[in-house]
């Protein structure tokens, strides 16, 4: 018996050491892939040259708050008037399930303060999640259908929008290695189209 208790103590120490070892966090390579594809500067110049019903629009998407998750500052403007963007948002990209990802959309408190700040993403370190407001029902749910290819959309009528007489907006997105195709449209209470590209989405080619 005199050797029994030391053996128990040794086994106990080994067991506790194993339990105190932190498990390795497996990197989500698909989420990392999606987040990387969404970053950069894009424009629809080629599409606008081919079809005059489309405008030449600049789209800038750059990561912010690197230690808080996967956030992007997003700015869109007519290429001819870059200092007058018509859309400024923050996107939060995350995994929703084994097969889906989401891109939640937030509005900034004072848009004008952040014009052109995609050139200096560190500027956003001065604010936090408390300074932005989630657009409920406007998140885009995405699926990875091939390497470097994700497709997604919002709910059919979940994203409230009152722009130009609309009741809700609908977005469809395809994200590829060299481009992002985005089709945003607004509909009235009867489901009738009221704004947005009529034929198909805008094709934003990556330029950096």
Residue 100, C-beta contacts closer than 8 angstroms, at least 6 positions apart = 141, 142, 143
Q: For position 20, what pLDDT does the model report?
A: 52
CB neighbours of residue 173 within 10 Å: 20
Task: Read off the pLDDT band of 97 (50, 70, 90).
Answer: very high
pTM for this model (two decimals)? 0.86
Closest to 83 (Cα-Cα) out of 45, 123, 112, 61: 112
Rounded mean pLDDT of the chain?
A: 90
What's the pLDDT tens digit per position in 33-84?
999 999 999 999 999 999 999 999 999 999 999 889 999 999 999 999 999 9
What's the pLDDT tens digit per position in 141-180?
999 999 999 999 999 999 999 999 999 999 999 999 999 9
| Spatial separation of the C-alpha atoms in residues 70 and 49, rounded to whole Å | 34
Domains of the chain: 25-206 (2.40.128.590)
Average pLDDT over residues 110-132: 96
């Amino acid at each position: 018996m005199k050797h029994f208790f030391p053996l128990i103590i040794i086994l106990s120490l080994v067991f506790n050491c194993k339990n105190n070892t932190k498990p390795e966090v497996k990197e989500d390579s698909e989420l990392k892939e999606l987040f990387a594809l969404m970053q950069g500067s894009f424009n629809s110049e080629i599409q606008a040259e081919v079809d005059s019903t489309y405008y030449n629009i600049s789209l800038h998407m750059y990561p912010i708050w690197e230690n808080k998750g996967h956030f992007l500052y997003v700015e869109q403007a007519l290429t001819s008037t870059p200092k007058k963007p018509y859309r400024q948002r923050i996107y939060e990209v995350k995994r929703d399930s084994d097969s889906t990802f989401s891109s939640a959309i937030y509005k900034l408190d004072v848009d004008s303060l952040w014009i052109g700040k995609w050139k200096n993403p560190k500027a956003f370190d001065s604010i936090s999640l408390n300074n932005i407001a989630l657009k409920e029902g406007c998140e885009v749910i995405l699926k990875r259908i091939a390497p470097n290819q994700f497709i997604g959309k919002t709910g059919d009528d979940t994203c409230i929008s009152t722009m130009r007489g609309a009741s809700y907006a609908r977005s469809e997105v395809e994200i590829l290695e060299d481009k992002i195709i985005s089709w945003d449209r607004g509909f009235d209470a009867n489901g009738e189209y009221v704004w947005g590209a009529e034929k198909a989405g805008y094709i934003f080619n990556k330029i950096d």
